[in-house]
Structure 1
Amino acid sequence: MQSSIKHFLAITISLTSWFTNAQQVVIEPKPEQPIIEKGEHYNYLNFDFVIRNSSKDTLKLTRLEVHLLDKNNQLIQQKFLDNNGTAPSINTIPDRQWNGVAESLIFNPFHEVNNLTTKLEYTFTFNDSIEVKKVVTPTDYKQSVAFDLPLKSKMLVYDGHDFYSHHRRFNYEFPMIKQLGFNGNFMRFAYDFVILNKENKQYKGDGEKDSDWFGFGADVLAVADGEIIVLETNQKDDKSFDIPSLKTNPLVLYGNHIVIKHQDGAYSMYGHLKQGSSATLKKGQQIKKGQKIGQIGTSGSSFFPHLHFEMRNNTNHDAEGLPSYFDNYSVHIGTIKKEVKRGMINTGDILQSK
């Protein structure tokens, strides 16, 4: 009898601890309603989870599972990361331990989804026993304005926003970044474009000088009609910027840049422009699609001459990125050239605007 009572008390204490810990873990998707990005073969979900541990206990994420459901709430797919095997899949999430009261971000690892998916049910398991569930209901993004690519020459999408891209992996919960005021991923759907020559090379020689790069000084074009709302053209092409000033102006990162507001309320941002290349323009000016607005440079946080392009919903520290689909271009795959009327572009693509 005494043994049974001890066993009952142990179970009761364990359950109490389970409920207490589960209640003290808060999981929030960022953005709250993620955007479905539609590709040719798959759809993509580019969002994050901010996880807060308000208890004094150490919590470690040991399993993450997702159920993909259709509009009828029927299971389409089930995916998971766990501790099984000699190289456990859960290890692909690097920061997954909360030592007492703490807050951190993880990137949604299940970024490729079936095109019938309308809801995702996540189960986070901590310490092999504490389960916290979270339902995410994404939304389709409808781009009402037609975009052309911002460069005319043959170009490489040097870095886009796939799961491994630095644009995708902007951690706004990282203490230094958070102290600067950022609380969203403004470049969540960004691209870095590099101009190529006929041999698909990016530069001549060793590429040490800006002038070695075939794209340095190439014209940058507006992707659609709109109004210039931000303009900076006086920064040197010296690959540097003042980090502390990001606290008051988050766009300092891009050196010389232009932000254009379009008729649907979305903003296109063109960064790392050449010093003085936008000097003839002014804030408030109306711009036409295809109009020259600057040239490729190396101002701001730029390791080499390239154009940083992104769509976003505002110009503040809480800005979130928006997808962009482009019209009338070709994709070069070796000797094959594929014509596209409208489509999503990806890291590594070689493109040519018509």
Structure 2
Amino acid sequence: MLASFLLTSCLLLAPVASPPPDAAAVTISLAPSRVLLEERAGSHLNFDFAVQAGPDSLWLQKVEVFIYDKSGALVVRKFVDNNGFSPSVTSLSHRIFAPGQTTLVFNPFHTFAADIDVARMRYTFEFQKANRTEVTQTIEVKPERYQPQTALKIPLSGRLLIWDGHDENAHHRRLDFQHPVAQQFGIRSNFMRYAHDFVVVDENGEKNTGTGKKNTDYFGFDQPVHAPAAGRIVAAYAQQPDNDNGQDFFNPRDMVGKNPLLLYGNYLVIDHGHGEFSLLGHLRQGSLQVKVGDQVRADQLLAHVGSSGSSYFPHLHYELRTGPDLNVEGLPTYFRRFRLVRGSHSRPVAKGAVDSGDIVLQERK
């Protein structure tokens, strides 16, 4: 969970493979260059577009996508444009592009039904200059279905609400590293693109008693945090005081030139191998049971839930990522052996993804 200055989104930029004739007017690249497809009752795509205007300002008029299956046949064609009294193009994150500046456009076509084979995508962007000259740019996308090699388990126990996941409205998803403040703090990629905020709740979905001002009002405060899988501790911090009772000890300026991961307050990073790392953040001050260099086993007690760093209340931030540092990429996460709650019923999930609003039950023997 981030402070308000970070509630937007973005990622690593890559050049377009073969620029079209009007590339001088605008350049569009994928963010990130490696587009991963998450499978959960269909296909979910978590990537964006970095748009850089040429010598003229541009106004985005339309974005259209063509979806092709493995055989090359067209499956779906959709668009957002400026037609109507409440045009859909206004739902995009940015529509006006100043000369020479790079700005993020969050992908408006991100979720597809299970019967849609998303093998290849072609996006077409239509712009206008101030003189109403039209500019068109097309970019191809070939998603990669990604399954982690690490067998992961949810790091908390009990009834858990994914308070904020990585759907299109989640602040993890909408991290814009092109934002001036993000640039100032050295943020260059969306490391939390697939992150989860886990919150312990009761059977009514409530996360706290009382006024919710004190950490001790929350069911999750000081709950044990377990290793999601075996690995080696490669980064850790434990000295940040927990925000509590109106006191906020998070100072973003500490991130500049000191330790950018202080965004998470007290944290642990585990190297699972295969280029897969777990980050667990907002841990309680002084609760870490391990240190850098330790080998940990799956389910081992690591720390306790706190509210340190950029945190509004006690919860556990979890993300799977490509490295231990700040400017890495997020990875899709599939957890093993939990129950997915749907009202008065629940069902076991051998392996699956979760997202914002889901309630799960995680037991430990």
- State TM-score, norm by structure 1: 0.91
SS at match of 2:292: coil
Match of 2:297 among 282, 288, 295: 288
Alignment of 1:224-235 (within 5 A): 224-235=229-240
- Matched residue type, 1:217: D
Aligned partner of 2:109 in structure 1 is: 110
Give the conservation status (yes or no) of the 8 Å contact 1:50–1:105: yes
Percent identical across equivalent pairs? Answer: 37
Alignment of 1:56-135 (within 5 A): 57-114=56-113, 115-127=116-128, 129-135=134-140
SS at match of 1:284: coil
Aligned partner of 2:197 in structure 1 is: 192
Aligned partner of 1:5 in structure 2 is: none
- Matched residue type, 2:28: I
Q: Does 1:277 align with 2:278?
A: no
Give the conservation status (yes or no) of the 8 Å contact 2:234–2:324: no
Alignment of 1:203-282 (within 5 A): 203-238=208-243, 239-248=248-257, 249-278=259-288, 280-282=289-291
Match of 1:349 among 347, 353, 358: 358
- Matched residue type, 1:81: V
Return the offset for 1:21: 5.2
Give the conservation status (yes or no) of the 8 Å contact 2:173–2:194: yes
Inter-CA distance 236–297: structure 2 relative to 1 (3 Å threshold): same
The whole-number CA distance in structure 2 between the counterparts of 1:351 and 1:20 is 51
Q: Does 1:319 align with 2:323?
A: no
Q: Deviations over 1:145-177 (max 9, x none)?
A: 211111111110001000000000001000110
SS at match of 1:277: coil
Return the offset for 1:74: 1.0
Alignment of 1:153-168 (within 5 A): 153-168=158-173
| Aligned residue-pair number | 333
Pair member with larger Rg:
1
Return the offset for 1:20: 7.6
Return the offset for 1:264: 2.0
The whole-number CA distance in structure 2 between the counterparts of 1:147 and 1:217 is 22
Inter-CA distance 267–224: structure 2 relative to 1 (3 Å threshold): same
Inter-CA distance 99–200: structure 2 relative to 1 (3 Å threshold): closer
- Matched residue type, 2:270: I
The whole-number CA distance in structure 1 between the counterparts of 2:112 and 2:249 is 38
SS at match of 2:267: strand
- State TM-score, norm by structure 2: 0.88
Return the offset for 1:251: 0.6
Give the conservation status (yes or no) of the 8 Å contact 1:241–1:255: yes
Return the offset for 1:242: 2.7
Give the conservation status (yes or no) of the 8 Å contact 2:148–2:276: no
The whole-number CA distance in structure 1 between the counterparts of 2:322 and 2:186 is 17
Return the offset for 1:288: 0.8
The whole-number CA distance in structure 2 between the counterparts of 1:329 and 1:237 is 29
The whole-number CA distance in structure 1 between the counterparts of 2:254 and 2:35 is 30
Question: What is the root-mean-square deviation of aligned Cα atoms in Å?
Answer: 1.5
Q: Deviations over 1:159-216 (max 9, x none)?
A: 1000000000001000110122221100000000100124432100111111000100
SS at match of 1:322: coil
- Matched residue type, 2:233: I
The whole-number CA distance in structure 2 between the counterparts of 1:304 and 1:62 is 41
Hey, which bits of structure 1, 4+ residues long, moved more than 3 A? 19-22
> More helix per residue: 1 or 2?
1
- Comparing both chains, which one has the higher relative contact order based on Cα–Cα distances under 8 Å and sequence gaps of 6 or more? 2
Aligned partner of 1:182 in structure 2 is: 187
Unaligned runs of 5+ in 1: 1-18
Aligned partner of 2:25 in structure 1 is: 24
Aligned partner of 1:46 in structure 2 is: 46
Aligned partner of 2:34 in structure 1 is: 33
Unaligned runs of 5+ in 2: 1-19
